[in-house]
Amino acid sequence: MVPARSSATLIRDLKTHTPDETRAEPAPRLIIDLATIQSNYAKIRELAPGADAGAVVKANAYGLGATEIVPALADAGCRTFYVAHTQEGREARAALAGRPADIYVFNGFWPAELPALREAELFPVINELAQLEQLRDQAPDLPCALHFDTGMNRLGLGPEETDALIADPARLDAIDVRQIMSHLACADEPVYPLNALQLKRFRRVREAFPGIPASLSNSAGVLLGPDYHFDVLRPGLALYGGVPAPGHDSPFEPAVEIDAPVLQIRELRPGDTVGYGATFQADSPRRIATVAAGYADGLLRAFGNGGYGRIGETRVPILGRVSMDLIGVDITDVAETIAPGHPVCFLGGDIEDMADSAATISYEFLVRLGLRFHRIYKPAAERR
């Protein structure tokens, strides 16, 4: 397994900001650690040794880059991928570059997608009986998964359709169902009774269709323990270093970090304000650094006056509003001398605190990290 590395080491390794007349304009970088994503995947396997671990790579692998992340996960042993859209499935297939893997498309069977599904060898996830009939009509040989809705009320066969299929399992005759699945609504809140109820309902489905591999758990579900593991796991967030159940311990390491350079430094006198709307006012002398990253890069406006970055181990609070391209941070307490070009780190191990400060969840701002970043993929471990 790849050893976990601290945010500080990650940044130190990558620091290239030495003062130098020939230097180009300093630009923010998004650093994605493929080796950490692989070690998070290995942790999922350790947590559920009896199950296969798939990987959810929808929305461009949570905004981080399916082209790089899918092959890294395949090299770590992953053979089952899940996406939301057919197009994402095509991208995942291309990224695999011939490595063998099953790719499931969550959003249902839509007959017009059939040529694309066939060409990229994608397996639709059937969400209602009408889709099952369409599949039987148009592509009975196409492997698929069956999604049962056990309480989320989002996608999947609802309770009546589930009962109808259990009463008449011949409706699956000659259909190549490779997986039955369901999705947990409250896995991030282990004490919620809906978890146990969904588990009970899914067990009933499983008993009705023995022999078909069953899949229930997302990242947070994996942490609910072996009862929830079944045959195939579907983690997403945990792989990318998010905390699946905020407020509970997480064994996963941060894999994403923003490294944004200081552009300018100034001293505030008491009474001075920072940024649009003058929403921060200094009550004592402060030193602030203006950093080259903003909401255009996905640092949410809601991080203003609440979020923070880091210089080394020192927290530097975000002062005032986040602008489109800029953020002000308070560097008064930073011991080292900071010059323009010095990197300020955001996210890393602070990902859940940051989500909290913006009243959102890490999922949301991961998928919104901007396209303007210079993206750096730290190399993955060797192929196994």
Ligand X SMILES: *Cc1c(COP(=O)(O)O)cnc(C)c1O
Looking at the Cβ atoms of 333 and 364, the one nearer to ligand X is: 364
Catalytic: 62?
A: no
Alpha carbon separation from 161 to 115, 150, 166 (Å, rounded): 28, 11, 9
Encoded tokens for 158: 């609802």
Tell me whether residue 34 or residue 238 sits nearer to ligand X (CB atom): 238
* Least CB distance to ligand X at residue 228 (A): 12
Q: How far is the CB of 292 from ligand X (least distance, A)?
A: 30
In the set 41, 43, 58, 82, the catalytic residue is 58
Task: Tell me the closest approach of the beta carbon of residue 20 to ligand X, in angstroms.
Answer: 42
Is residue 267 a contact partner of residue 282, using CB atoms and an 8 Å limit?
no
Residue 366 Cβ vs ligand X, minimum distance, rounded to whole Å: 10
Residues whose CB falls within 8 Å of the CB of residue 193, separated by 6 or more in sequence, listed in order? none
Check if 58 is active-site: yes
* Contact indicator for 77, 384 with CB cutoff of 8 Å: yes
Q: Which is nearer to ligand X, 36 or 218 (CB)?
A: 218
Instruction: Please count the helices (runs of H) and the strands (runs of E) in the chain.
Output: 12, 19
Report 140-199 residues binding ligand X (CB under 6 A). Answer: 183
Per-residue tokens: 92: 């995942």
Query: Rounded CA gap, 379 and 356, in Å?
Result: 30
Within the chain, strands assigned E span 29-33, 52-53, 55-56, 80-83, 102-105, 122-126, 144-147, 177-181, 214-215, 232-233, 256-268, 273-274, 280-281, 286-291, 308-311, 314-319, 327-330, 343-347, 374-378
Nearest approach in angstroms of CB 361 to ligand X is 10
Give the list of residues 6+ apart from residue 286 with CB closer than 8 angstroms, or none.
Answer: 267, 268, 319, 330, 332
Residue closer to ligand X by CB (options 52, 272) is 52
Half-sphere exposure for 71 (CA within 13 Å, toward CB): 15
Q: Which of residues 7-66 bind ligand X (CB under 6 A)?
A: 56, 58
Pattern 313-352, ligand X, x by CB under 6 A: ----------------------------------------
By the 8 A CB rule, do 225 and 245 touch? Answer: no
| Least Å from the CB of residue 98 to ligand X | 26
Binding positions for ligand X, 79-118, rule CB under 6 A: 106
Q: Indicate the residue type of 105.
A: V
Closest to ligand X by CB, 235 or 317:
235
338 contacts 262 by C-beta, under 8 angstroms: yes
For the segment 205-244, give every residue that binds ligand X (CB under 6 A). Answer: 218-220, 234-238
Q: Minimum distance from CB of 252 to ligand X (Å)?
A: 10
Count of residues that bind ligand X according to CB under 6 A: 12
Smaller CB separation from ligand X, 53 or 329: 53
Residue closest to 343 by CA, chosen among 60, 24, 103, 15:
15
Q: Which is nearer to ligand X, 177 or 238 (CB)?
A: 238
Q: Taking a C-beta distance cutoff of 8 angstroms, is the pair 240, 255 a contact?
A: yes
Residue ranges in contact with ligand X by CB under 6 A: 56, 58, 106, 183, 218-220, 234-238
Residues with catalytic annotation? 58, 276
